[in-house]
Amino acid sequence: MSLYKRGDSPHWWIKISHSGTTIQRSTGTEDKSQAREYHDKLKASLWEQQRLGVKPRRAWKEAVVRWLAETSEKVTHHQDIGKLRWLDRFLGGLMLDEITLDVIDRIKSERLKTVNKPTVNRYLALVRAILLRSRDEWEWIDKVPKVKLFKEGQGRERSITLEEAETLLGELPKHQRDVVLFALATGLRQSNVLRLEWSHVDLKAGHAWVDADQSKNGNPISVPLNATALEVLRRQLGKHSQRVFTYAGKPLANANTKAWRNALKRAGIENFRWHDIRHTWASLHRQSGTPTHELQRLGGWRSSVMVERYAHLAPDHLAKAANRLDALFGGYDLATSEQE
């Protein structure tokens, strides 16, 4: 048996030779008897793997590394990294088969202390996705706990009026004003606006596009540019060779800044996120009579279900459709009243 201490760790470490390789790792404990037990169990497990064909146990951290490598093209890749860093305090020291419902419940309880249920669901969904891939694709484990998400209500639909939007634009610094105005004119998500490159803009044709790997639904998005969007883009010409939106010669990395939040306060607008600009854009379109199928294509939604959230904002359009039956019924109601 090889148990030893290292100067940079309070824990006991083990060193085992197996199949021509050397395994060195921390036991995670300062208690020598517990460390000895860990050593013996690991050695028995290695024997089972070699002699009996038992699957080797895999650590959560191994799964995280492979997941991030295989999903590096996801639009939400950076968000996944942030979530996984937070989850490391609960899962970082565990093997995949040690992740139980009790562990999941602890994650739920702790995350609920600072964020709402829909946000907790994003963390749980990420854990579930990694565990399912570990079982179904990598065959690292045989079963996974049933991770249940919180029930969510209807999607958030916060939007502001055209007058409020104009007030907000007036309170923003010039460089941010153009970013927000472009988002209001096109409905593009924040990441697509900030990452927009000149190679994806054709000013002459009045057209821009978002590649599939930068689109939330995985499909390319065609962006017809109206006069407002074109004017914003022309103001950016010559500021940067690659990226469209910049500040002090450098590409903008984030729009949800202190300047943005202060502008909201000065404009008297509460409970409004940057993503709500997209809701505002969709609401203004519906109020202007843009039909569902056109709005769906403009917004790059895969399904019309998301677009139908804005149907109630086009009452005049629906009224015209309802009135088409008047010609069929003719004066029936009036005639009935007179007979009575």
Catalytic residues: 189, 216, 275, 278, 301, 310
246-247 and 221-224: which strand pairing? unpaired
Per 3-state DSSP, the chain is made up of helix, strand and coil in percentages (nearest 5) of 55, 10, 35
Relative to beta strand 3-5, strand 12-18 is antiparallel
In angstroms, the CA 161 to CA 327 distance is 36
DSSP string for residues in 275-330: THHHHHHHHHHHHTT--HHHHHHHHT-SSHHHHGGGGGG-HHHHHHHHGGGHHHHT
- Cα–Cα distance between 220 and 44 in angstroms, integer? 52
Closest among 42, 66, 37 to 54, alpha carbons compared:
42
Nearest to 99 by CA among 40, 163, 143, 66: 143
Q: Residue 329 and residue 327: Cα distance in Å, rounded?
A: 6
Cα–Cα distance measured from residue 99 to residue 88, given in angstroms and rounded to the nearest whole number:
12
d(CA 159, CA 272): 8
46 vs 2: CA distance, rounded Å: 15
The type of residue at 78 is H
Q: Where are the beta strands (DSSP E) in 174-247?
A: 201-202, 207-210, 221-224, 246-247
